[in-house]
Structure 1
Amino acid sequence: MRLSSHLKTEGNMAKIALINRNLKRRETVKKFAAYRNELLVVINSIKTSNEDRRSARIKLQMLPRNASPVRVRNRCLLTGRPRGVYSKFGLGRSKLRDIAMSGEIPGVTKASW
């Protein structure tokens, strides 16, 4: 699911390499999510012995750094812009406005009061 250079570029779009790196991080997070959650349950459980907790921490540290969901950056799906992204839509504020104003997102209208 890598992006290539045939992606639409408008204005100062994020570098393709940064977008691909972020997609690779998402794949890594998804790959290790279940195992990581199992380790975190062992670490955070009160009933776990200190030896088991210590071994779980060591195993957690041995996972790839990009397996942590904190390292994933929300980016606009159309432009790759890293800031001003509405996670509900996966779009940046400018593209969300353009698409919403053209009526392509059901139920989204311009506010008026």
Structure 2
Amino acid sequence: MAKESVKARQKKREKMVLKFYEKRKFLKKSKNYELLQRLPRNASPVRLRNRCTISGRCRGYIRKFGVSRIVFRSLVSQGLIPGIKKASW
């Protein structure tokens, strides 16, 4: 489980990326890199990290389902993800 502060920081970055999306796009298109550098660093989408929606874990993230491998396994075991079942052989 990630710290609440890490989750909050990620949400703050996501909001900032959305806020400055159009401005960054315009500045890149006009090749005005000086003004682009003056924007906040967290406005860059590169600084975002994929995180599990439930636990906040960033490693072992399964993009298709939006959760980490650990949470994914427990959800599959409980039968909460349709079309997926635990392999056994």
> What TM-score, normalized by structure 2, do the two folds share?
0.87
Residue number in structure 2 paired with 1:18: 6
Q: How does 1:6-85 map to 2 (within 5 A)?
A: 13-43=1-31, 56-85=32-61
CA distance in 1, matches of 2:28, 2:88: 46
Segments of structure 1 that go 5 or more residues without pairing to the other structure are: 1-12, 44-55
Task: For residue 92 of structure 1, report the CA deviation from its aligned partner.
Answer: 0.5
Percent of residue pairs bearing the same amino acid type: 48
CA distance in 1, matches of 2:7, 2:52: 10
CA distance in 2, matches of 1:63, 1:108: 43
Residue number in structure 1 paired with 2:63: 87
CA distance in 1, matches of 2:21, 2:14: 10
- For residues 22-74 of structure 1, give each alpha carbon's deviation from its aligned partner in whole angstroms, at most 9, with x where no partner exists: 1100110011111111222222xxxxxxxxxxxx1111111110000111111
One-letter amino acid of the structure 2 residue matched with residue 39 of structure 1: L
CA distance in 2, matches of 1:30, 1:111: 40
One-letter amino acid of the structure 2 residue matched with residue 70 of structure 1: V
> What TM-score, normalized by structure 1, do the two folds share?
0.70
Cα RMSD of the aligned pairs, angstroms, is 1.6
Segments of structure 2 that go 5 or more residues without pairing to the other structure are: none
